[in-house]
Amino acid sequence: MPELPEVETVLRALELRVKDAEISDIIIRWPKVIEGDPDVFARTLKGQHFRGFNRRGKYLLFTMDDCLLVSHLRMEGKYFIKTDADPFSRHEHLVFCLADGRQLRYHDTRKFGRMQILPKDTDLNSFHDLGPEPFAEAFSPAYIHAWRRGRKMPLKSLLLNQSFVAGVGNIYADEILFACGLRPGRSCARITGKDEENIVRETRRILSAAIASGGTTIRSYNSFGITGLFQLACQVHEQKTCRQCGSEIKVKWIGGRSSYYCPHCQK
Ligand SMILES: [Zn+2]
């Protein structure tokens, strides 16, 4: 599943390719990809231009002339640029025909991704109950301290909770906790002020490094054929031995997700 760095990579790739492009028509091949009325969706977007490119958590946000277009890739959503001469793949569910003759096609083998139109003045702070962005000032040691008060969930579940912080998923949660020397199963009630500072710092450092690498390519993330390289930098996620101490990496099932950690380096 694409996490924040992969969504950011897709966003930047889209900005390079379709900034200011006009949508001349929309071909809807599988209407359920759209939340709401597909006819309204198509009518609203016709004649609109892709003006702004933003992200909130794992949501892609396109500012159009008169509305916001929101796209969530979920498990397998991808975008490709093609032309009307290219045959359709059966996994291409929605096509933005551009006035310059190109087509921006949404491809999704699992069909979990969704698109939605929202008013331009939608409050994105409270969007889908998402917590602060990891790079925002609001994500601070004091914020973590206040949030975990009275809670006992494992640190891994805390980081995966999108209401706590937006955009962190399974791969990066494992890497952040390794960098902080904290086991994923440790209760969030049992960390120190120093740990809170480390979590903020390492979350930003690891996500920045991942964005710089174009994200992580595990299985099928590759919009535009981009291959992210962060998997080469992973210290614990899907690793066999710890690069720092040589111990065998352990896998534990926490909150329905596999969690990788080093029993020696993480306490
Ligand atoms: Zn180790």
Q: Under 8 Å CB-to-CB from 87, ≥6 apart: which residues?
A: none
Q: How far is the CA of 80 from the centre of ligand 1 (A)?
A: 40
Distance between Cα 172 and ligand 1 center (Å): 17
The per-residue pLDDT for 218 is 59
Whole-number Å distance, alpha carbon 116 to ligand 1 midpoint, is 44
Gap from CA of 184 to ligand 1 centroid (Å): 14
**What is the rounded CA–CA span in Å between residue 69 and residue 75?**
19
Query: For the chain, what are the domain ranges?
Result: 4-124, 141-261
**Spatial separation of the C-alpha atoms in residues 97 and 107, rounded to whole Å:** 14
Residue located via tokens 């900034």? 19
Q: How far is the CA of 185 from the centre of ligand 1 (A)?
A: 16
Catalytic positions are: 2-3, 58, 257
The model carries a pTM of: 0.90
Point out the least confidently predicted range of 40-44, 165-169, 210-214, 236-240.
210-214
* pLDDT tens per residue across span 99-119: 999 999 999 999 999 999 999
Report pLDDT for 227. Answer: 74
Q: How confident is the model at residue 215 (pLDDT cuts 50, 70, 90)?
A: confident
| Cα maximum dimension of the chain | 59
Q: How confident is the model at residue 214 (pLDDT cuts 50, 70, 90)?
A: confident
| Fold category of 141-261 in CATH | Helicase, Ruva Protein; domain 3 (1.10.8)
CA–CA distance, 177 with 263 (Å, rounded to integer): 12
Scan for tokens 């890497």, then name that residue.
175
Q: Kindly report the CA angle at 189 between 185 and 190, in degrees rounded to 5?
A: 70
Q: What percent of the chain has pLDDT over 90?
A: 86
Q: Which listed CATH number (3.20.20.140, 3.40.50.1370, 3.20.190.10, 1.10.3720.10) goes with 4-124? A: 3.20.190.10
Q: How far apart are CA 97 and CA 105, in angstroms?
A: 8
Contact 228, 5 (CB under 8 A): yes
Q: What is the residue-averaged pLDDT of the chain?
A: 94
